Structure 1
Amino acid sequence: MDEFGDVATALTVGVASTGLNNCLGVAAAAAWGQRDRPLESDDVAIDEQIRRRAIYAVLSGAPPNDIRGVTNFGSEDSRLPTDFSRTAIGLDTSYEIGPDQPPAVMVWGSSATDFALATTWDRTYGEGVWVPDEWWSETPMRERVALAVERVFRRNADLGRQIRITSTSLDLEEVSRQIDEVMAQIAGSYPDRPETQIARADFEIVSPDSLPFSRYHKQRYTVRDQYATQWSATVGDDNGSLTMETLPPVPAIDDPELRNVRSLSWQVELTLVDHEIPGTRPLPNRDLLRAGEPPYRAHIRSSNDGIAFESRRFDLISAGASVEWQLARPMLRFPSLFDWAGARAQLRGLTTSLSTPGAHAELLAGLIGSRDHLADLFAGPLADGLHAFVTATRRSDPTVLPGDQGWIAHGEAFLTFHGCRLPG
């Protein structure tokens, strides 16, 4: 980050480098960052009032104002960036909207796995909160912890997100007991403000392995104000796969704060509109590259919504090469669902072939023009006639699979594309 110069070295708030050898030091460093390398030392005595304010700020998401000793200096300016936010210069957060918004997760417990689960959830979906139970065990700290928890509940109620409470180190009965104490503490702090009260209907206590890890709503960093001004041409084959016949856009960065950092590397993700690939499932490079494309120029992988590769080339780059020749521009192949299934099967030494109905459908699609035209015909003018061939039974109504994964009809399962993409 030193290559950012004055932009990165401006005044920021971070965690103190010595004396925080406890849960507060770990939680504060995860929330606000720590510019200097932590130094092994004896615990430093911190004023109790500052410690309480720091714990409240960490839990509630408030800015780290005026808590010098926990942070490297004290400030009452809430707009001052933190060391953690400094690492996202020139970047914006984005995510893919989809069904079933993930809940906010509050992880109760002081173990490393509790911290890891809360932090992983927060970095992936946002609203992951770590509550070390050792803080709740301190009677003077209970009011601050309870008020911070109440703020988390209120914020997520405004966001329309459910709240799940869990722990990897405590049994759920102990978690439930401590949450009951938190609810009582909040009720005692605001006896005349019923809108601040927390009820059992506002949250659910669950085991860690039951948390729903959705492929949607995952947060990712993207370059700010990056707009594509180039285009590429693709050609389709008989199986529906699309292959680039011209170079993809140059993955150069336009942001003035980032483009001059020589050591900077980033990920490039390419997607084609109306041509989805089952995400997060790996395929060999040969199935993601145009025939004859050298596989060593770029590190390519399946991504959430398409194909991703590292921005820098991995082969020989001549001195003085322009930006266009320093960056990777692989000619990619976007497999159809049929070719994708075949590539996945080959990883286990298997092959795929069309079933008899599938072969008939493929033949009809070729006669009509495409599978899209065939689907429109079957769903439209021919629908009533096709239904007349189906023998009516008491169990003719299809069973809908959960999560829009497909249906079971006449003893056979039919998966939607979303169902094919789900893990498991």
Structure 2
Amino acid sequence: MGEQAYSFLPLSVSARPPRLVVVVPHDDDWVRWMALGLMRVSQVWGGSGSVLVPAAAVGHSGVERALAQFGPDHVVAYNPSWDSVDKLSPGLVDRLIAGQQVEDPAAREAATQMLRETAWSHALAGQAEEAAQDLRSRLAVNQHEDHVQLTHLFDARSPSELTALGDVARVPLYGVPRGLVTTPEALSCAMTIGVQEQLGTAEVDISAWQAATVHQAEPEAVAEARVAAGPDALAVRSHEAALCISVQRGIPNRDTLLVFGGKPEDYALAEALRQTHSRVFWVPWSEPSRNEGWLYVRSYTQDRILATSASLTSDEVRDRAGASRGLRIPSVDPDRDVKPEVVASAEVDFSCRQMVVLRDAWEQPRSLPVRVGEEGTLAAALSLPGEVPAGLDPDRHRWQVTLTAKNHPVPPLHALTSSVVIAADQNPWETFVRPADGGITYWSHRFDFVSAGAPLAGRLAAPKLSWPSIGKVLQQAAAGQTMAIRPSAAGKRAAIAERLLGSRTELEQLASSPGWPVLRAFTSKKTGWELPPGSAWNLKSGLVLSWDAIAAYKKTDWNEHARRADLDTWASQGVVRRGLVLGCCHCPIYEFYPLAEITQAYLCRRCGGENSLIQERWKSPLPEPSWYYELHPAVRELVENDGDVPLLATQFLRTQHWARPALVCEEFEVLRSGSPFVEIDFALATLDRVWLGEAKSGDALGGSPKEQKREACKLIEGCIALGAGGLVLATSKPKWSDATVRTLQHEVQGRRVASRATPKIVLLASLGTKPDVTVLDA
């Protein structure tokens, strides 16, 4: 399609609070610091869908992986005020003011008040800021090129930044009194309820906190806070308090996930997993408890119980999980006892994502005119007008707008910055724009320049956006790794065939149609049926067939009328060319002459001699010449090189729930230092990740174990280089060879032991008959 081709893009629009990752400073008494940070986040609209991370947990591979899946809008450092820190160390402010020896009482009072409202200046705050900056770089969030205005969370409120929960909530709120959160057990309960600065100094038994974690039952002190707030009170960290709900994309994960360990990184892992899994329990205590037995009893309605940790080894997690086996309670299935399965923190499955959205303003249908570029990039011709969701006030509230295109996903890749998802003529400083949730999100209000007294339309952001093609996505990912990609020879052939038929989907349908074996007859491959005499001629330019050859193909579900119509369609598309086989009176050669070149007089292609269209010139001895058909050279090479295998693979994959919708790219080469590094047969971009694929007509990656290992390593490294989270190996054979599977398993296990990134590997077999897909079990 040309640069100025236009189309309408169906969109789903959602309003939601900003998603934050808040890095909290701490010392050895990290629990009380987390309680302080949790109290601040509990005051923010969107705190129920945000994550707190102790500064010491930044850099942990399992935590980082969970945070990447969480996909924050902003990574901020929590910088408490002197007044907040004074709550942890009572008398700190008074001692500091006393050291200044201010004699005048009024001046001393003013200095004290000013200091209490000032952001805390300490090395711990600086360490948290450095950790937040490190995390921003790791997650590719809040980078300078993204033009982000939010980097810190202070105790002082700024109406131009985050919205207070109290400004949105319509009922009284309650939380765990901060002063009670002094142990990991108390924090495990407070992380789900939230924290408020309330009076509450009564001792709470640790077992009560444990019961609250696994039973979801409040300790008496928390129940008192709730009752005091009123009969309609909601927990400050509940989605309902923020007028929000959590929506799930994909097949809901019904597993129960236990996070063992009482270290800061264990808390951070549980915090992040809570935003992507429905049932997560942080179990920081080491002794077995009867409360865990209740948790296991509830699990009989779940698929599995998974146990993990960020600080403990697999054996230690297994020991802690097994400590409760004395409370074994059989599941509904009498042959299966409920037992937890141990999984490494870096291997927790993310089959379903959750997104916290405004309850009455999500998945609203819209349509937007877009310009369609040659590569398939969609650039908005107009911008959606700014809208104020019901229940929000543009003067007091700030929100995120998330747009998801129905058939054009934007995968979550670190390499995709704001410049990739905004139109070329859009002011990049108008607002914060980034890829998110399989689409594009932006900050609700302008922050480039807003004049005083501007009308609503001048205050709300309305950026012109761009949905990148999969080719641009891959190019951006390669450029981020100082690599490059280019179409391979097979990719160019597939692109030509797609152009002839109109789309990749049409080409996939052709590959799976009864007509593909007929196209194979135009190649050097042996046909599966007998061709009538004189219906096929092997010329220097290639094999040509007459209608008699095509009609001789016996296929019960493809009758003569259907194949006649298909042949005419192929001819109109240019997939085949209709013409005559003619000779030359000057030189002994026969050639195929397309219909457009045939006149009563024609020139020989070999010698240029002039010929007249008479009976002696045509190949057939019939009184009149018969039409012959020549397959387009690019299509012929595609068919001859088993180009149907990757086409069948992508066609089947797009029927899977996790690949709907998907963008598909034909074969390409990855270049490293200008030299080809690995060839990729196809790529898919979905809402959740990029998948790279290798398609074979055989059942092995190579002819020897050494070749198998080399190819497996190149494919995996290619995925890592392009940020692809998945690798698909597809074959038309009934299954991949055992040697291939063992090679892949060995490579995956080795990478995991070395803590190296590893894509999810899917094996696809029996293409063209009854496709079967399995996940590689390493």
TM-score of the aligned structures, taking structure 1 as reference length: 0.77
Note if 1:224 corresponds to 2:359: yes
More deviation in 301-310 or 345-354? 345-354
Please state how far the C-alpha of 1:7 moved relative to its aligned partner: 6.8
Distance 1:3 1:347, change over 3 A: closer
CA distance in structure 2 between the aligned counterparts of 1:233 and 1:342, rounded to whole angstroms: 25
**Counterpart of 1:139?**
none
Note if 1:326 corresponds to 2:459: yes
- Name the structure where strand makes up a greater proportion of residues: 2
CA distance in structure 1 between the aligned counterparts of 2:353 and 2:407, rounded to whole angstroms: 21
CA distance in structure 1 between the aligned counterparts of 2:281 and 2:231, rounded to whole angstroms: 21
- 1:156-215 Cα distance to aligned partner (Å, 9 max, x none): 432x3322112333444343334333121x25xx8xx88699966632123323323x2x
**Counterpart of 1:55?**
210
**Counterpart of 1:12?**
173
Note if 1:90 corresponds to 2:243: yes
CA distance in structure 2 between the aligned counterparts of 1:240 and 1:38, rounded to whole angstroms: 60
**Counterpart of 1:419?**
691
Three-state SS of the structure 2 residue aligned to 1:84 is: coil
Three-state SS of the structure 2 residue aligned to 1:95 is: strand
Tell me which amino acid in the other structure corresponds to 1:153: Y
- 1:322-365 Cα distance to aligned partner (Å, 9 max, x none): 33321211111111111222232333444433222222222333
- 1:68-110 Cα distance to aligned partner (Å, 9 max, x none): 2786366899974212227842211112114x83743212222
Note if 1:46 corresponds to 2:203: yes
**Counterpart of 1:161?**
303
Contact 1:121 1:127 in 2 (8 A): no
Please state how far the C-alpha of 1:244 moved relative to its aligned partner: 0.8
Note if 1:383 corresponds to 2:516: yes
Tell me which amino acid in the other structure corresponds to 1:207: A
Contact 2:401 2:442 in 1 (8 A): yes
Contact 2:239 2:245 in 1 (8 A): no
CA distance in structure 2 between the aligned counterparts of 1:57 and 1:80, rounded to whole angstroms: 18
Distance 1:276 1:168, change over 3 A: closer
Please state how far the C-alpha of 1:375 moved relative to its aligned partner: 2.7
CA distance in structure 1 between the aligned counterparts of 2:257 and 2:493, rounded to whole angstroms: 49
Query: 2:500 pairs with 337, 358, 367, which one?
Result: 367
For structure 2, which runs of at least 5 residues remain unmatched after alignment?
A: 1-42, 44-162, 527-641, 668-677, 685-689, 693-723, 727-758, 760-778
- 1:224-281 Cα distance to aligned partner (Å, 9 max, x none): 1226365321121221111111212424212x2xx12634322222122111222244
**Counterpart of 2:384?**
248
Distance 1:233 1:398, change over 3 A: closer
**Counterpart of 2:475?**
342
Tell me which amino acid in the other structure corresponds to 2:400: Q
Tell me which amino acid in the other structure corresponds to 1:337: I
CA distance in structure 1 between the aligned counterparts of 2:199 and 2:475, rounded to whole angstroms: 50
Contact 2:259 2:281 in 1 (8 A): yes
More deviation in 313-322 or 86-95? 86-95
**Counterpart of 1:237?**
373
Three-state SS of the structure 1 residue aligned to 2:352 is: coil
Distance 1:356 1:180, change over 3 A: closer
Report 1:137-176 matches (<5 A): 145-146=289-290, 148-158=291-301, 160-176=302-318
Distance 1:46 1:4, change over 3 A: closer
Contact 1:122 1:128 in 2 (8 A): yes
Contact 1:102 1:217 in 2 (8 A): no
CA distance in structure 2 between the aligned counterparts of 1:132 and 1:222, rounded to whole angstroms: 30
CA distance in structure 1 between the aligned counterparts of 2:442 and 2:168, rounded to whole angstroms: 28
Distance 1:180 1:285, change over 3 A: closer
Distance 1:235 1:368, change over 3 A: same
Three-state SS of the structure 2 residue aligned to 1:72 is: helix
Contact 2:173 2:229 in 1 (8 A): no
CA distance in structure 1 between the aligned counterparts of 2:254 and 2:204, rounded to whole angstroms: 38
**Counterpart of 2:628?**
none
Contact 2:258 2:282 in 1 (8 A): yes
Report 1:261-276 matches (<5 A): 262-276=395-409
CA distance in structure 1 between the aligned counterparts of 2:321 and 2:165, rounded to whole angstroms: 45
**Counterpart of 2:220?**
67
Three-state SS of the structure 2 residue aligned to 1:166 is: strand
Tell me which amino acid in the other structure corresponds to 1:240: G
Distance 1:183 1:391, change over 3 A: farther
Decide which structure has the larger Cα Rg and report it. 2
Distance 1:357 1:119, change over 3 A: same
TM-score of the aligned structures, taking structure 2 as reference length: 0.44
Contact 2:370 2:378 in 1 (8 A): yes
Please state how far the C-alpha of 1:386 moved relative to its aligned partner: 5.1
Query: 1:209 pairs with 346, 371, 375, which one?
Result: 346
Distance 1:285 1:31, change over 3 A: closer
Tell me which amino acid in the other structure corresponds to 1:157: Y
**Counterpart of 2:321?**
179
Distance 1:387 1:60, change over 3 A: farther
Tell me which amino acid in the other structure corresponds to 1:206: V
- 1:22-68 Cα distance to aligned partner (Å, 9 max, x none): 113312221211122899xxxx56264xx533421222323x2x612
- 1:113-159 Cα distance to aligned partner (Å, 9 max, x none): 2222222211222322111224x2xxxxx5xx32x32333344432x
Contact 1:288 1:334 in 2 (8 A): yes
Please state how far the C-alpha of 1:416 moved relative to its aligned partner: 4.8
Distance 1:349 1:151, change over 3 A: same
Determine what percentage of the aligned residue pairs are the same residue: 21
Three-state SS of the structure 2 residue aligned to 1:419 is: strand
CA distance in structure 2 between the aligned counterparts of 1:76 and 1:52, rounded to whole angstroms: 25
**Counterpart of 2:153?**
none
